[in-house]
Amino acid sequence: MHELIDHPCVQHKLAIIRDVDTGHKRFRELATEITKFICYEALKNIKVKETVVQTPVAKATCKKIDTDLVVVPILRAGVGMLEGILELVPTARVGFVGLYRDEVTKQPVSYYQRLPAQARGGTCIIIDPMIATGGSTVAAIELLKESGAAKIVVVCIVTCPEGLALVEGAHPDVPIYTAAIDDHLNEDKYIVPGLGDAGDRLFGTSQ
């Protein structure tokens, strides 16, 4: 299942972040802003519990989040979205997954994994600016399932039909939230029109 967040504010920011003339400072700011909007929607169904608080006037029955939230950026570009979700849920814990593509098999290989204990039985939110082929996302989901996550949600900024098909085919129980579903992958496995290399644009490492 996937959901396209087509709010005008999100789409306006998406137009700016796509622009080739947007520098790395503004790109990072926009990634944070867009992530916050998408995560707002992605977390709308998380578990809550009722609690009673004393206001200056009277007691009020309120709701608080009742699950351990673990944000899991896929290295390295996912780190560029981390601030956005932590501004929304500052008590969330953070884990990291590092993956690279094997040159022979073309399959993702994990080179780093560090998850807090709360990932087991908690709600894990995978963040990565782009789901292109979908291979890294599928691998990250599998790692989290093996770690005992009770619920997994994927948040990205841009994806494409090929990436969605692979992830949803492998893990139909994991919802994906995105600001854009672009046209296709080109022969170099870049999303068209996409964002270019999100990691390079986030961290200013492009040539």
Q: Give the residue with greater pLDDT, 206 vs 162.
A: 162
CATH number of the CATH domain containing 99: 3.40.50.2020
pTM strictly above 0.85: yes
**Amino acid sitting at position 196:** G
Dihedral sign from CA coordinates of 114, 88, 9, 33: negative
Domain membership of residue 149 as a residue range: 2-203
Close Cβ partners of 44 (under 8 Å, ≥ 6 residues apart)? none
pLDDT tens track for 154-174: 999 999 999 999 999 999 999
What average pLDDT is seen over the chain?
Answer: 93
Check whether 91 has a pLDDT greater than 60. Answer: yes
Residue 182 annotated in active site: no
- pLDDT score, position 106: 65
What three-state secondary structure class fits 109?
strand
Check whether 202 has a pLDDT greater than 80. Answer: yes
Assess contact for 132 and 157: CB atoms under 8 A.
no
- pLDDT score, position 189: 86
Using alpha carbons, select from 20, 18, 56, 53 the residue that is nearest to residue 34.
18
Among the listed residues 105, 114, 173, 183, the single catalytic one is 105
pLDDT tens track for 94-120: 999 998 877 677 678 889 999 999 999
As a whole number of angstroms, the distance between CA 49 and CA 62 comes to 8
Residue 197 annotated in active site: yes
Tell me what the mean pLDDT of segment 3-16 comes to.
Answer: 95
Check whether 207 has a pLDDT greater than 70. Answer: no
Cβ neighbours of 126 (radius 10 Å): 28
- pLDDT score, position 206: 67
Assess contact for 113 and 141: CB atoms under 8 A.
no
Among the listed residues 26, 93, 120, 200, the single catalytic one is 200
Residue 19 annotated in active site: no
Which 8-state DSSP code applies to residue 183? S
Tell me what the mean pLDDT of segment 119-126 comes to.
Answer: 95
Among the listed residues 26, 93, 101, 120, the single catalytic one is 101
Residue 116: Cβ-neighbour burial (10 angstroms; 0-12, 13-18, 19+): middle
- As for how many domains the chain has, the answer is 1
Residue 68 annotated in active site: no
